[in-house]
Structures are given as C-alpha cells and as structure tokens.
Amino acid sequence: MHSTPGSTTDRVLGILDLFTEAAPLWTAEAMMERLGATRSTLYRHLRALTDAGFLAPAGGAFVLGPRIVALDRQIRVTDPLLRVAPAVMAGLRDAVAGTQLLCRFYGTRVLSIHEEKSDPRIRTSFDRGRTFPLFRGSASRSILANLPQAELRRLFLAHASEIAAAGLGGTWPEFRDGLKAIRLRGHAILSDIDPEVIGASAPIFAAPGLVTGSLVLARLKQEVTERDLDHLAAMVKETTARISAALQGLQA
C-alpha cells in the first residue's frame, strides 16, 4: 500500500474522520476515492462500523450512526460532573444573564459538556460537544492554569508556537509564571474566541489539586462594565467551589 499509515484499526476508525459538519453524508464511492481504498476493503470496513452502529446507511450513502447517540447518553448519565453541576447552573440563570458553559478536560482537548443559556442573543452554538483549543478561550485557561507542572512542561515543549501565538509567553518561565498568576487569582477573564462575548471562568476539581474541568459565565462584551466582570468573577469562583465540593462529596 501507499499513503495510508497506521494499523487496520486506525484506518477503520479513520473513516469516521470523514464525517464532518460540512460533509455529514458520504457515499461508498466518494469514500473510496478520498481514502484511496479498494472497494472490497472499504465495504468490509463500512460493515464493521455499521454493525457496531457507528455508521448507518441513509439512502445510498452513510451517516453517523445511532450508537454514537446512545453512547453519548451513557456518558451523560454516568458523568458525576453532570450529576451535580446542571442544577447549580440552573440556579444561576437570572444572575448571569448570559450563557454558562460547563467544560471538561480530556488531556488534550477541552470539551463543552453542558450549556445553560439565558441570553438568546448569544448565538454561539456552544453546544454540548463543542471542543476548544487548549490554549485559547476562558474555559481552557482556567484548566491550564491548574495543571500539574510536569504536564505543563510537556505541553510547552510540544506546543511552544501555539502557546506563544496565544499570548501565553515565549519561554517556559513566562508560560509557567503567567499561569501561576491565574491560578492564584482563581479565575480567568477572556474574550478570546468570539470577540463579541466575554467570559469569566474558574476551575473545577475532582479531588484537591486535580482539575477536571471548568465553568464559564459569559455575556455580551459590549454590555458589561468592569464592575459586572468583577461580579461574574466572584460568582464563578463561588459556584465552581460549590460544584467541586459536591463532586468530591459524591466520591466519598
């Protein structure tokens, strides 16, 4: 074979990479061409994915399958963070007057896992399932600032240019000390992703010192004053403290 690296399994799972928001529907023919796979091999792989429910035939083409939806439900039902946080967030609706985003950290990406929206004008489709880059956005910042040193160093070595581009410093001490300041402050305020929206975030801990996610309280930037931001910051710190406590109570 030529330009297809990785094992068979990687190639099979790689098929799922084709299915994006922009291209949610693929015919076997199109996949063959795109992947440079032969007909029998591709169909064998499609069958494996279809049998497992990750793909489903839809009128001559394939779409992402029901298993994904079912597995997402399992995650929702079993995630301890989702057992405690949504209720707390619902109680904050009116006080925030914007949008709240609960995020979870997955080693390399930050994922929004729950949204509580009260300002319909914020049309950031910050849905559950949206991923954020680790070095941009308020949610990620609060997480990053609370990662263990060893992990930070690894990240710095692997992503120096991204880190510099995000204004997080060009040297390791700059990076580390900047994050330390955020950690000590206890919250991060950023308008980094959508320029019309500004968010205050704070970390959520699954155990003392072990950051597992963050909460963002966001509002339309042009409508908030300095005082509002201070208020949001205080609120998000207080709220994440409560969520962390509840989370750790669950596990005990």
Mark 8-29 as b/e (b = at least 16 C-beta within 10 Å): eeebbeebeeebeeeeeebebe
Q: Is 209 exposed, middle or buried (0-12, 13-18, 19+ CB in 10 A)?
A: exposed
Task: Rule CB under 8 A: choose which of 27, 29, 69, 238 binds a copy of itself.
Answer: 69
Q: Which of 41, 118, 124, 191 binds DNA (CB under 7 A)?
A: 41
Contact between 154 and a copy of itself (CB under 8 A)? no
72 interacts with, out of a copy of itself, DNA, none, CB within 5 to 8 A per kind? a copy of itself
Tokens, residue 152: 């930070």
Identify the residue whose tokens are 């083409």: 61
Task: Please tell me the distance from the alpha carbon of residue 211 to that of residue 148, in angstroms, as a whole number.
Answer: 9
Among the listed ranges 54-62, 84-92, 147-155, 225-233, the one in contact with a copy of itself (CB under 8 A) is 54-62
Identify the helix (H) or strand (E) that includes residue 110. Answer: strand 109-117
Is the Cβ–Cβ distance between 116 and 104 less than 8 Å?
no
β-bridge pairing 61-64 and 55-58: antiparallel
Query: Per this entry, what is the length of the chain?
Result: 252
Using the rule CB under 7 A, is 29 a contact of DNA?
yes
Is residue 27 part of the contact set for a copy of itself (CB under 8 A)? no
Of the candidates 18, 30, 32, 68, which one interacts with a copy of itself according to CB under 8 A?
A: 68
Smallest distance from a copy of itself to CB 147, Å: 15
Selected binder of DNA within 16, 34, 38, 72 (CB under 7 A): 38
Radius of gyration of the chain (CA): 21
Residue 195 touches which of a copy of itself, DNA, none (Cβ within 5-8 Å per kind):
none
Contact residues: a copy of itself, CB under 8 A: 7-10, 12-13, 16, 19-21, 24, 45, 48-49, 51-54, 56-57, 63-66, 68-78, 104, 106-107, 109, 111, 113, 125, 127-131
